[in-house]
Amino acid sequence: MILFKITVVSFVLFTTTLYRVNGQEVKKHTKMIKTEAEWKETLSPEVFKIMREKGTERPYTGIYDKHFEKGTYVCKACNTELFKSTNKYDSHCGWPAFDKSIAENIYTNSDFSFGMKRVEILCANCGGHLGHVFDDGPKETTGKRFCVNSTALQFKEKD
Ligand SMILES: [Zn+2]
């Protein structure tokens, strides 16, 4: 019995540690929980395809690719602030690119689809797929390139 208890306790401790070590994992538990059917009702088919089915808009077609106004980009599905215009830069990659996110509102996941190893970025509030983050961003700042679908974003002008 004691041995059993020790096993249980160490298992709990182990999983707790894992949880803490990988801080990003904690954020997987998004605050806004909806079923996929509910999302389908709320979002336009285009947004649903990108944000819930992890789609990618065609390069150079998104409305925010060449958009450089001052303001904030929020999540198209839940309005959470994700990126500031001061972190947006022209990466010529065909999608809106940022060298930094509003960190607490985004979490990452390893993505092995299409035979590539990429890091997916998602909204921490609703779990919506946003795009990917790469290590080929501007060296003079963060070195990161947050490559985001315009479809997953809504721009809010600074007032
Ligand atoms: Zn969201």
**Cβ within 8 Å of residue 95, ≥6 positions away:** 57, 59, 62, 65, 131, 147, 148, 149, 150
Band (pLDDT 50/70/90 cuts) for residue 20 is: very low
What CATH number did the domain enclosing 43 receive?
Answer: 2.170.150.20
Q: Does residue 12 sit in the same domain as residue 67?
A: no
Do 1 and 55 lie in one domain? The reply is: no
Q: Which domain holds residue 2?
A: 1-28
118 and 89 belong to one structural domain: yes
Residue 153: name the closest of 68, 75, 51 by CA: 75
In sequence order, the β-bridge partners of residue 106 are 123
Q: Are residues 24 and 55 in the same domain?
A: no
The number of distinct structural domains making up the chain is: 2
pLDDT digits (tens, 9 = 90+) for 117-147: 999 999 999 999 999 999 999 999 999 999 9
In whole angstroms, what is the distance from residue 80 CA to residue 92 CA?
26
pLDDT in tens, 63-114: 999 999 999 999 999 999 999 999 999 999 999 999 999 999 999 999 999 9
Exactly one of 75, 123, 126, 147 is catalytic; name it: 147
Cα of 16 vs centre of ligand 1, distance in Å, is: 27
The model's pTM = 0.81
Distance of alpha carbon 12 from alpha carbon 62, whole angstroms = 46
Is residue 17 located within the same domain as residue 37?
no
Are 134 and 145 contacting, i.e. CB atoms less than 8 angstroms apart? Answer: yes
Pick the closest to residue 96 from 105, 83, 106, 81 (CA basis): 83
Distance in Å, CA 2 to ligand 1 centroid:
46
- Residue 126 a catalytic site member: no
129 and 70: one domain? yes
142 shares its domain with 73: yes
Same domain, 62 and 3: no
Ligand 1 ion: residues within 5 Å (CB): 75, 77-78, 80, 123, 125-126, 128
Run of H or E including 130: strand 129-134
Span from the CA of 10 to the centroid of ligand 1 (angstroms): 36
The pLDDT value recorded for residue 74 is 98
Residue 51 pLDDT greater than 60, yes or no: yes
How far does residue 61's CA lie from ligand 1's centre (Å)?
22
